[in-house]
Structure formats: C-alpha cells, structure tokens
Structure 1
Amino acid sequence: MRNPTGRQLRFGAELRKLRERAGLTATEAGQLLGIKQAQISNMEAGRVGVSPERVRALACHYDCADQPLVQALGDMTSERSRGWWEEYRETLPSTLLDLAEMEHHAVRLRAGITAHIPGLLQIHDHAREVFRQVVPELTPPDVEHRLSFRIKRQTVLFSDSPTPYHVLIHEAALRMQFGGREVTKRQLQHVISMSERSHITVQVIPFTAGAYPGSGQSILYAHGPVPQLDTVHLDQSHGSALIDAEAQLDKYRVLLDRMAATALPPEESRELIHVIAQSL
C-alpha cells in the first residue's frame, strides 16, 4: 500500500477533528457505524478510501451541521486518482508532490515572496539557475528533472479554468539576477505578461516600504472550497512545511493582508517591474 498523500492525510485529519469535537473515541465512533475501531483509525490516517455516503454518516453521528464542510469532505473522497505529480513519486521528495497536489486542488492561491520570483511565474532559464544553487548540489539530470516538475506545476495558471493567483513580490526578488542580465530581463517581462491575465494579480513591495510583517519567509496560502480546508505552505532551506491549524491559518491570512496593504497597486507594480527591466 502506498503511503497516503498530503491531501489524504489532511482529509483523515479533518475526520478526526469532527470526531474529537463530538467527544467520541475511535472505538465509540466505530460502534455507531457498526465497524471496528481499526477502520476508523485507518480512515483518519488517510490509509483507506471513504465514500461520500460514509462521510455524511460520520458527520451525522458527530452532530456536524456544517453542510459546506461536509460537502467539501465528500468531494475529496472521489479524488484518490493519481495526479500528474505521481510520476515523480520515486524521484522527488514527497513534500514537493504534496505542494503540487495542494496547488492543483486549491480554489484560489495567495503568495508572499521576499527573495525570489515565485515558482509558478518562473521561466525555464531562471528556474534552472535556481536549482543549480541547491545545497547539496544537484546533478545536471536532477536539475532538469526538477525543472520539468516546476513547469508542470504552472499548469494551474493555464488550464481552461485557471486558479486565481494573487502574489506579493518584494523588489529585492525582482533585482536578483538568476542567470544573468538577459535571463533576468526575460523573467521580468514574463512576470509583467502574466500579471496582465485576468486571474493573476501581482503586487510589488518596494524597498521604500521599509519593514513589513512576514518579510523573513515565503508563504503560499492555498484556499480550499471552505475555510476549514485552507492550507499554508512554507518554503524553507531544509524542506517545506504544510500548516492547517485554524489559529495559524488566521495568522497567515492577516500577514498576507498586511503585506498587500504595504505593496504597490497592480498598475504601479507593473510600472516598477518595467523600470527595473529597462535598467538591466
């Protein structure tokens, strides 16, 4: 049996939250459904599939009246099919696959980036240079493997129903010359072009804005079909982390709101990117 994906783990964790809020043990929940405690534990660990009907039955026994949440959880049960990212299962860290899966299922994406162009907006040559700087150093084939994975992640912005994407980029990231001046110029033109798409909003936080909350980290906020299923992805040198605790979600929503208030409006942001590109 394959290990559960990040999304399957999240689904099981939400079932466990519903049970615990009802004040029931796994054994008691199993008795209500006429199944063994082990089966409840396997569902909550994301190890087995659960039908929409069973989700509704669990919600009923758990006295959960939040129908949008129950519907969203029911919809998640039909999504155990293999996504494109599964072809990388044996060659890339599972955290990267969980990121692609999260982006694929998000209904909206928000990001706050300080020191680099966000992966969803990177061109090939820029991304290739980013991967060449990974520690420990990647082999040339591994660099190209990661590059292909990053480019495939970008399909969420190009599908027939593209995911709305709002990204806050610090001016420092725009001035980092990954791959040299010509690559940087093409990268900035690509950001400008993408920002003109109706579903993409790019705001720049200029150097003149000074200090702002969240300046020390890269944040990706993936909105689920209901707020309880939102997820935050933090990108760190030692790996990535997925956060879904309600208090932490509230914190990162506020951080991104305050970053957006610090940033230039979209039109002024595009103009600043133009100015930086022309100076290269």
Structure 2
Amino acid sequence: MPVRSNPTGRQLRLGAELRKLRERAGLTSTAAAQLLGMKQAQVSNMETGRLGVSAERVRTMACHYDCPDQVLTEAIARMTGDRKRGWWEAYREALSHPLLDLAELEHHAQSLRDSTTARIPGLLQTREYALEIFRQAVIELSPPDIEHRLSFRIKRQAILFREDDPTPYEAIIHEAALRMQVGGSTVTRQQLQHLLDMSERDHITLRAITFDAGAYPGSGQSIHYAHGPVPQLDTVYLDQAHGLAFLDAEAQLHKYRTLFDRVEAVALVPAKTRDLIHTVMREL
C-alpha cells in the first residue's frame, strides 16, 4: 500500500488514536513493530495517517496493546471503512485543507454543538448572510474565491437536511449575533426567520444568551464540538484568526465539555429563544 503524501483529517485522527493505544500500553514504536511483525516505519506511517490500515489490523493492534475497551476499539476500526471520496474533495484545489477536514468531520459526527458570540453559526447561515460575511473578510477575497467558499458552506449544511439521519445539532447564539445587522435589515430579517424555521426541526436545538446574562465562561470565543461514536473520539474545533484548530486530547475534550455545560446553564430555553428572535425582528 503506497504511503500518502497528504492524509485527510480523519486519516490523521485514526493514526493518532492508534498512537494513543500504543502509548497507553507503554510501548515504543519499535517494540510495537516487533509484536506486530512489522517494520517500525510501517507503525510510524500508520500513526501519522500516511499508511492505510484495515479494521482487522486495528483489532490486532488493540489486542497486542492489551486495550481493555472493546467499544473504543470497534469505533476506531469503523474509521477505516469509509474509503469513498466525499463531496468536499472537489474543493481540494480551491480551499485550504483544514476546511475540507471540517466538512469531513461534520459529515461523520454523531452530533454537533456550536456556541457563538458575534455571528450566526455557519451551519445555520442563509446564502445572503454568508455572502456578506465573506465580502467582509480581513483579507479581501476575489469573486471566484467568495463563490467557492459560499457554495462550500451551503453544502456543509446538507447534514442537517438528510432524510434518514439528519445530524442532531445544538446552537447557542449570543444576542449580539442576533442583533448585528449583517448585510442590512432585510438580510438580517431573512436570517432570523431562517433560524426560527430551523429551530422547529426535531433534531435542532436553538438557544440564546441575552445581554442580561453578563459575562459567562467562553464568552470571548466561538466553540464548535463534534461528538464521535464514543467520547474518546470527540473533537473540538476553534475558528481562530489564523485558521481552524482541531483539538482531541482527553484533557481538552473534558475542558470543553465542561465549558459547554456551563454555557448552557446561562442560555435561554428554546421557547424563550424563539420569543427573543421574534422581538429582535420586530425591532429591525
């Protein structure tokens, strides 16, 4: 099997989980290779996502590493099964690799949670709202770049509209984002109506944080949390000025789970959130 030059985010995560299993067993990559009857370079390439691995190989490695968590082992093994090219691959020459990794992560997530302060989350943005966001980018984008980013963002939203298994989604949005007139009052009103429409779907939970709530944990950043098939395979992604950052260390996941729970504690319930949105729309 040839060595990959540019593994995807999911392939990198699979490799990272194999490395964690080995390290928990207290084995070096050389010792692991001897146990598995492989070369040390093969083990290293698997752990960096540069070399493919089968589900059966994952189970064999977990056995040799004395991993007691069968549920985790099977969840990692299932990460090897999807070899089809996702729709996001069509954008590989037009957009940055982290954006493609984001779409892949969302596609496979069991559920998603967002907390935002200044903008409506991308998965809930209308085309007109998103267009204005891209037009106001710090680094001016060309019309073709804007079109690529816009179509990519809209296609990401397809996970919320799947007929058989739409992805469960929770968004916590600060009142500041609801009141900010992105693109003017007409675009903002359309965006708020879209939020109301989406909030009526059974798999979508929309909650708002009012100005009256004051300061709260995580209020200075947008946080995105993707739930995997088991908690160990969850991922946090942060949208920062220099680009997307993906976090999956156990301590980081625990920190952001706790943070989300504290944010939820100060957020309005869905019914009162819809009341707030109606109030903001009347005041436009």
- TM-score, normalisation: structure 1: 0.99
Distance 1:248 1:274 in 2: 36
Please point out which of 98, 108, 112 is paired with 1:109. 112
Please point out which of 226, 241, 259 is paired with 2:263. 259
SS in structure 2 of the partner of residue 95 of structure 1: helix
Distance 2:196 2:45 in 1: 47
Residue 248 of structure 1 deviates from its aligned partner by 0.9
Please point out which of 204, 213, 221 is paired with 1:200. 204
Q: Runs of 4+ in structure 1 displaced over 4 angstroms?
A: none
Please point out which of 108, 119, 123 is paired with 2:122. 119
Give unpaired runs (5+ residues) of structure 1: none
Partner of 1:245: 249
Partner of 2:94: 91
One-letter amino acid matched to 1:50? V
Distance 1:100 1:80 in 2: 15
One-letter amino acid matched to 1:231? T
Partner of 1:189: 193
Partner of 2:41: 38
One-letter amino acid matched to 1:194? M
Deviations 1:140-181 (CA, angstroms, capped at 9, x unpaired): 121111000000000110012100001100000001111110
Distance 1:236 1:32 in 2: 42
SS in structure 2 of the partner of residue 128 of structure 1: helix
One-letter amino acid matched to 2:283? S
Superposed CA RMSD in Å reads 0.8
Please point out which of 159, 163, 166 is paired with 1:162. 166
SS in structure 2 of the partner of residue 145 of structure 1: helix
Give unpaired runs (5+ residues) of structure 2: none
Distance 1:175 1:62 in 2: 53
Deviations 1:224-250 (CA, angstroms, capped at 9, x unpaired): 000000000101111110000111111
SS in structure 1 of the partner of residue 153 of structure 2: helix
Matched pairs, number:
280
Deviations 1:76-96 (CA, angstroms, capped at 9, x unpaired): 001232111111111101111
Residue 20 of structure 1 deviates from its aligned partner by 0.8
SS in structure 2 of the partner of residue 85 of structure 1: helix
Partner of 1:79: 82
1:3 aligned to 2:10?
Answer: no
Deviations 1:172-210 (CA, angstroms, capped at 9, x unpaired): 000111111000000000001001100000000000111
Partner of 2:274: 270
Distance 1:21 1:259 in 2: 33
Distance 1:95 1:133 in 2: 21
Residue 2 of structure 1 deviates from its aligned partner by 4.2
One-letter amino acid matched to 2:221? Q
Distance 1:254 1:22 in 2: 28
1:58 aligned to 2:66?
Answer: no
Distance 1:257 1:78 in 2: 33
Distance 1:236 1:174 in 2: 21
